[in-house]
Chain A
């Protein structure tokens, strides 16, 4: 009897209500790795949009963080595909998606979107921005580091006024190309979820828009976080004008994001389609902590309150308090967006396609889908960023606006 009942006892706590037989076993197929994949891509897109505020929209106050946000975008982009590689297994086959591309598969197209964004937008823009510095550093830095700079100049040492003006113009063009590319990069992730029409939690035309908006929010928050941490490590003073401007953009981006996500909830509630009852169960039970507490309260309402207060009382709040409030809001927003990714990815797998039952999930620690590997992947971009900052953001130059200010590029 033991032998028989063991199986039943094992199967029952995993499900509640009515689920199809094939849903009781293997769920969920996508777990923590697929949660951090859109999270990392979103941070890349957001950090890039943040940088393009300087380059395209000519927000001069943000110039001190331009290079930092570009390097942040690069460091995170280099790790953006790692969660997918670990999730799918057989990383040695990763090149095949590029060798035999299938043009009707969104996953295959992502290979090209990613390559385009990395090679044609981010690296090129960074190269044009750093080119003059590469030339200067390659002449003054000895040893291996000097060799790196020499290689990065690609052998072009021309620093004439004409060529510098061309650099700026190229940067400006690349930024303009970069904004739709960043939207494409992250809109694609929303597109993948939004086009799964059999799943009421995912299949939604607002999905790409919500993904892009939350990406912008998380990217700006990451830049705020990185900027404050970097100035703290280097014992420099924070440029409060820059930080206040970042906080302002963060507030407005978060406001728009919160409004669109609320619109989504209201629309779902009003339309109350077939699967609405099970979605209510999800919000009230399965995703209570990650959605209501993590995403809405910690990730949206509290930062909105803090940042909103700062917008109203900016000058009356002492600098140290303002810095702390902005730093905390940034950290909370990044946490909240991670929770949002969790709610989207995991939420869609917690309920049965019958809409009358829910499955449960116990997070693994080790193993291919465990959270250990996800944490390891999330730790990687900051390590890469540290190396990049060490190489390309020297202490003396850090905090100074980038040498060529955008207006010349924009007006030429």
Chain B
């Protein structure tokens, strides 16, 4: 149902093999061909900048619950951009399922580029799929907005075609590190799921906590990604001197850990903190078990930043639900990129990618930009405490701590391993 009509790809026509032109793009003369494709795109839409945006999300598999938000957010962004008379951009959306698998994700990306003429791509959540698409975007010379938070996507694996509106793990570490050291304890236990995201949380948060605070790491443990039993680790933490446990895990791993920790009484002796604890799927699945834990905040529908409230209202009327972080980041990705297209007055990704870095614009998280040197959006972040909602039961509410501005939250490019 989701694929839009083939013929509506904005005047690109039967483009004779983007892949083949582009693979030889290093050669003089071929660049001209890509330019022709760009002109055709501009001409076909009758004066407007018409593009096709491929949105590929892990609809099936472990990230399915998050992918729904991502797809909805993208749909809404495309609708709003098309309705906005001030923005001279016309977007056609094409939606595909990556099945949370890098091979499938890459093939689907190829499909939206070759079959639907997409020259802009948004999506993926897990870092392995996002990194595969990073490479793909560079090969194809198309703009890609990743939905994953791992640092290397705009860090050591960054490239000039990737623009990320999602808040990365380093920014989240800024959100929670001072707060944790100052309020939750200085004797820290790190428990992470044994994969790139977990390692990235541990290294960033530890580095930042040690920066200006006298903290002691009393223990570390790693569980296999996708584990379902954590009581052995919970006992180890309970029997240590830890005052706070920093959990570098997300989704099902985090839900299972916190639920079992709560029933084993760990919350009474140790503060639990995870950068993704405030995610709506986590709060929704944990219910009361999440009360009294702490997390970082990338996004909440209650935020009063930028034009968030009109976004939330529009989202509610469209989908009958509150937007989550993934809806927010997909929405921001496409809207921010569309502003770049309007600014460049060209649909050619090669021109847009030169205009977009450092371009100031208003977003649902307030004034923002893709930073010049790594193309990471400078989103503000917050620490948060999960408390019982006013109704007394159901998913925890989030008590926001002090906002950390985008400029302060994002470490130097060099430190994150990228210099564009």
Q: Do A and B bind each other?
A: no
Chain A interface (Cβ within 8 Å of chain B)?
A: none
